[in-house]
Amino acid sequence: MNTCTQSIEGKDSQNKNSYFETDTWNIRHETTSTDENKEDDFKIISAQAASANSCVFCDNKGVFYCYACKSSFCKPCRVNHDKLPPSKKHSVIDLKSVNRSTVRHICELHESEYTFYCIPCNTLVCNICVTSGHKEHGMSGIIEKSDELKRLAKSKLSDIKSKLQKLSKVAEKTKMVHIPKLDDESEMAVANIRSIENDVQKLISTKADIKVNEVQDVTQWKKEELQSAWKNKGRIHRKQTTIYESLKTLLSEEHAVSFLVSYQTIKRDMCDLTSEAKDDIEPHHIQAPDLKGFLDETISSLQEYRRGLDSQLI
């Protein structure tokens, strides 16, 4: 039989409840020990905190974590924990999903549990903070503030989702429409130039190559701008999608303090996607080549070449 089961279920129902409730009470630092026992109680609590991966009752491997008790339980002890009326409504989750950085939910300045949320400072505070550094500040209950921010987060989630969809369409259109169209326009311009080149034979090939290079340089420059815009929107889309998924997952967090701590981290990485997800990117176009000017230059070159030929013939 499991050690935990032997230590708890071996007693009668009344003693079992009393044993479990007493230990849970001690773990939550709510002991009413006499002064001479306080040092021993502190050592016990410190030892329990050092073994957060073990069941607080039987030292078996912990599987669950109770935010209210601030302790880990194995499966059998979790069953007994949930049977007791005082702990039925405790927030218990899988130990693997516990954010270790937020398990110790106490004020670092006063080593006291958080009791309020300071509205002007946007931070969790303890009872000592309320009467010292945050004196006369507006306060909100932790649960109330968590519920308020959850409602705000849900609204943001919907807004982000909508804008991410628009952003995705804009990025896709840039890749699939604007860039190919720019290539088409470039190819058409080059074809026109090559047509004139063929009409005036090899003599104008140098002039034609110059014009082609001009078009291709502009094409490359404009294409790089479009590719940069496409990649940038894709990067923003990927990053904000990750934030969206994290925020979506966070909304299932039942523990208020855990939610607030994690939400502040996610909130720093959020950005307004309104400008990024506008309907479209302004497309670039290749200016139609000055074919008449190109022909004039070609004729001028032919005339010069003819003059050169004439001088050689004299």
Query: By the 8 A CB rule, do 192 and 291 touch?
Result: yes
Segment 42-86, tens digit of pLDDT: 443 444 444 467 888 888 898 998 877 878 889 999 998 888 888
Alpha-carbon gap, residue 277 to 171, rounded angstroms: 9
Residue linked to tokens 């860039």: 179
Segment 248-267, tens digit of pLDDT: 998 888 888 888 888 888 88
Query: By the 8 A CB rule, do 269 and 203 touch?
Result: no
pLDDT above 90 as % of the chain: 24
Q: Which residues sit opposite 73 in a β-bridge?
A: 64
Cα torsion angle, 71, 74, 77, 79, sign: positive
Q: Where are the domains of the chain?
A: 3-35+42-98, 167-313
240 confidence band (pLDDT: 50, 70, 90): confident
Kindly tell me the burial class for residue 167, based on how many C-beta atoms sit within 10 Å of its own C-beta (0-12, 13-18, 19 or more).
buried
Segment 4-52, tens digit of pLDDT: 333 333 333 333 333 333 343 333 333 333 344 434 444 434 444 444 6
Vertex 251: Cα angle to 249 and 252 (nearest 5): 75
Non-local CB neighbours of 289 within 8 Å, separated by 6+ positions: 189, 192, 193, 211, 215
Mean pLDDT along residues 150-175: 92
CA proximity to 198, closest of 278, 53, 298: 298
